[in-house]
């Protein structure tokens, strides 16, 4: 017997919504009544509120072919990619021949690529910010991205000592595991020492 698969619940808001239009429509559609004398009146009021919200959302949703604003991390244009390839080629030649002329050309390309990338990032971010609107979710997404706190790995603590860097953590782990684990040779040596001590005890006169 196969288990029944329940269909997914459709989302009420599946596209960007213009909240100013929603506010305007909900004020016109919603007609609250303060007279609730019985259960039927309460159920009718709940149904009216639910349907009013649905209708206002349908009227405030963006068109189906709405395109979200693109992120400011745009692809690198072809001419900048060509400059980067030329810079890499100049670096390989300079590393092989150590020519002053090639070194000069490499420095020029390095500065040019840096300037082009900085200019691209500035213009892309400027275009990204200009497309942010308080009438859709773009403002919330941008704010969430900026205010998001990245969790950092806490330091290891051993009493009053703290180990923050990767090297310090590796060393303290190595010392810990060195004390916890032993090799087969160490086990053999320990067994020989125990046997020798037992023999010495047995050989001692009573």
Residue 68 has pLDDT above 60, yes or no: no
Residue 26, in any domain of the structure: yes
Structure confidence at residue 67 as a pLDDT band (50, 70, 90): low
Domain end: 131, 147, 163, which one? 147
Residue 117, in any domain of the structure: yes
Total residues belonging to the chain = 206
Mean pLDDT of the chain: 77
Instruction: Based on the fold, state whether residues 163 and 134 are members of the same structural domain.
Output: no
Instruction: Based on the fold, state whether residues 82 and 46 are members of the same structural domain.
Output: no
Q: How many percent of the chain have pLDDT more than 70?
A: 71
Q: How many percent of the chain have pLDDT more than 90?
A: 13
* Tally of helices (H runs) and strands (E runs) in the chain: 7, 2
With vertex at residue 98, the alpha carbon angle to CA 94 and CA 99, rounded to the nearest 5 degrees, is 90
Alpha-carbon span 138 to 70, nearest angstrom:
10
Residue 82, in any domain of the structure: yes
Task: State pTM to two decimals.
Answer: 0.38
With vertex at residue 115, the alpha carbon angle to CA 130 and CA 133, rounded to the nearest 5 degrees, is 10
Write b or e for each residue in 164-176: b if 16 or more Cβ atoms lie within 10 A of its Cβ, otherwise e: eeeeeeeeeeeee
């Amino acid at each position: 017997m196969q288990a029944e698969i329940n269909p997914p619940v459709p989302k009420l808001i599946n596209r960007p919504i213009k909240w100013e239009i929603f506010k305007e429509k909900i004020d016109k559609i919603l007609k609250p009544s303060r007279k609730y004398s019985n259960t039927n009146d309460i159920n009718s009021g709940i149904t009216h509120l639910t349907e009013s919200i649905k209708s206002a959302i349908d009227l405030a949703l963006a068109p189906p072919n709405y395109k979200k604003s693109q992120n400011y991390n745009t692809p690198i244009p072809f001419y900048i990619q060509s400059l980067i390839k030329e810079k890499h080629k100049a670096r390989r030649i300079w590393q092989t021949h150590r020519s002053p002329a090639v070194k000069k050309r490499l420095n020029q390309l390095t500065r040019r690529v840096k300037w082009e990338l900085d200019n691209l990032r500035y213009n892309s971010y400027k275009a990204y910010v200009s497309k942010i609107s308080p009438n859709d979710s773009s403002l919330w997404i941008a704010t969430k991205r900026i205010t998001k706190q990245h969790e950092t790995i806490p330091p290891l603590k051993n009493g009053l000592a703290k180990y923050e860097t990767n090297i310090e953590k590796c060393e303290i782990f190595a010392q810990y595991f060195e004390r916890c684990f032993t090799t087969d040779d160490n086990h053999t040596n320990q067994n020989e020492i125990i046997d020798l001590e037992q023999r010495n005890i047995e050989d001692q006169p009573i």
